[in-house]
Amino acid sequence: MRQTFLLLIIAIIVVSLLVGAIYMVLRSLLDVVEDWQTARELKELKTEVSEQQQAQDQEHEIRLQNDCEHQWEGSLVGFPPGVCVRCGLEKTRPRGACDHVWRVEMKEVPGAVCETCGKQYHRAPSAI
């Protein structure tokens, strides 16, 4: 009786160890498959993002081709940073609906105003 009970306990332990080992192997295989799928999706997303970036770069180049020899620095008036002094276009297209075209606005405090949307920019006074 004792021998049968001991063999039964040993059999239960061995079976539970085998079931645990099989579970761990299957779980590892499932993790490998999930990692493979994630890597594939990430690669697809990277290619999609690079294509979108190339399209945006082309739009940006077309946007800046307006027969102006752009000068991005050297404004005596209060243009925002990165704006061409000659034509008023920004170096990079701003977020939002308006592609600002800045013009000088001479008031008490010189600044710039967008022709399209009316947004104003005034340079912060510098401490001398």
Sign of the Cα torsion 98, 104, 107, 110 reads: positive
Residues pairing with 47 in the sheet: none
Segment 100-124 shows an average pLDDT of 75
Q: What's the chain's average pLDDT?
A: 84
- Higher per-residue pLDDT: 109 or 75: 109
Segment 82-106 shows an average pLDDT of 76
pLDDT given for residue 127 in this prediction: 44
CA dihedral 42, 61, 92, 125 (to 10 degrees): 160
Q: Which residues have a Cβ under 8 Å from the Cβ of 88 and sit 6 or more positions away?
A: 79, 100, 101, 102, 103, 112, 115
- Higher per-residue pLDDT: 40 or 83: 40
